[in-house]
Structure 1
Amino acid sequence: MASDSSDGLVLVYENLFVDNCCTFAGTTFLVYEYLITFGQEVKLFWRGKWTGASILFFLNRYLALISYILIMCEFVPMSDKVCSLLVKGEAAISWIQFLPWAAFSALRAFALSGKNLILSIFVFLLGITPLAVNFVQYGFDLDGYNDPTFGCSAGVDLTPSMAKSLTIASRGTLMAADLILLCVTWYTLPRRNLVNLDSSRNLLSFTTVLLRDGTIYFVVLLILNILHLVFTLISVVGAFDPVSFVTEFTEPATAVLVSRFLLDLQSANQDALKLDSRDPLNSDNQDFSGISETLTFARIVGSVGLSMDFPESLTGISQTSEGDESTAYTVDAEV
């Protein structure tokens, strides 16, 4: 019995060590990204009017930063009560990030599908499913536990079957939403004219941004979500095994990809507005009449709600956790 207890304790410490290493790696990546893009943030978002795009950008950017600041605070000595409050608060902020991510996906679907409200709502619901799924953990005694070596750590009473079911629901819906967006993007946008338009007049750089960034977003997150699912489902059943640690990389990667996406859209919007105001050919070329209207931000959703109704002469297409016994030592049980 003493041997089993020692083995279990060793496994807990191994999980905590790996989890902390992954957390530090994700934090380093996020901070580095913020430092190298801070100048763009100031130029593109701080100096303009507040729009839906800017609100989404700041929510995505700083919810992630606050979450990781709170995670770093968990390594500071504290009382058990403070540890419990810190873990629950950090978990809530971390999961609330799914709200701006889902809103961003829904607005992309709305703009690209010809303002199809039903599709947008469906994508939004798929995107916020992980928010609801993870908040379920509050009903399974999510709490903080002090450790003299690793500081304040999260624990939750989840059986392996429950952890795997929640992971399937959470990651499956995210992958479905991303796949729908990728299909809508590639079906809607005028790929045949993409190269010529971008190289000659740069009027439709929004198309490049949506195709390029949207595809990168899908591929990166698809790989991470599949890895998270696979590592969780094939994990060795043990009383202290958590779900996989891939979420330590998925969340900062999602925050970075969404930030880059919005930065690129905002930059494309400003370039388009400058070109529209300075190019004397706009008034003489019939093919480009109406472009300024389609490249203007909607006041509410900014660059994200851009109408994608390009003129037909341009596009060439018609716009017609683990262990059967629940345990409070399951660490990092985010699904």
Structure 2
Amino acid sequence: MATGPDLLRLLAVPAFAWAAYRDLKDRRVPNRTWLPLLAVGAVALSWDLFGILGGTALQRRLFAVQVAFSIGIVAPLGYVFWRIGGFGGADAKAIITLAVLFPTYPVYEVFGTAYPLHSAPLGVLSFTILSNTVLLGLAYPLALAVRNLPRGEITPAMFIGRPAGVDSLSEEYGRLLETPEGFTRRGLDLDALRMYLQWRGATLSELRADPDRYRESLPVEPNDPGDGSIDDGAEDPPGSDGVEPVEDDPWGAAAFLSEYGAYGTPPPELRAGLAVVSEPDRKRIWITPGIPFVVPMFVGLVLALTYGDAMFAALSLFGLS
């Protein structure tokens, strides 16, 4: 039978299922998702600590190493990846939460079989969840390539993006992979584009129909840009009362970004994105889709609790572990 703390930790499964759904639906996971799970993790960890005090010296040392690795290494990895732009804030919070929830391997016996079936030598489940997530994430570039290949889209971008209709960008998540100068690995965030359009009180089709008007002016009464999500009203924003001329700030990018960070978008990046999407003859543009990272993390969690460490098991097959 599983211990009380390990049964308590199973609350993470439905919570992460809901978070994965929200991440897939609109790339937004509310902050209120993580605090209750962190509280559950803290209670379970304290419960474990109380129980391990009656164990052997070796068991206590192993427990201390596992907890130190999970909270001292796995949790900071989430913060580091967020700081370098590897993924979003919700993904970082999810990793930190998992580090607190699963510093050790639980054991669940179901019909005479103990799960997880395979464990890694160190026995830190949060690290197993993270490695499972990375392994699942490696399939994403291959899936994009398979999608692009039959359409003749054979470019370096075929592994990281796909072409999308310019007129449909308001309904897409991700980043542009093009500027007026050509291919880029880090183009304008489409959430930032929606925020800008909402701020200006314009639709993308209106901007494309008269780009000079928007390039050379500022809105007289700008709107609240919201958070850039598709359901935030950017498709049909309220109109502004007019525009006023602007100099030395094409598109009013600096004015907009000085008040709204738009996820760290710099003015040159916003200007380049607006310039490329407003090209009158452009019908499509390459984008890298926004990856709902909490989805493979949820699958990695379920895989870790049932099968165990998939990467370690795969390496074992080739004698590499």
Q: TM-score, with normalisation over the residues of structure 1?
A: 0.25
Question: Greater share of helix residues, 1 or 2?
Answer: 1
Quick check: which one's strand share is greater? 2
- TM-score, with structure 2 as normaliser: 0.26
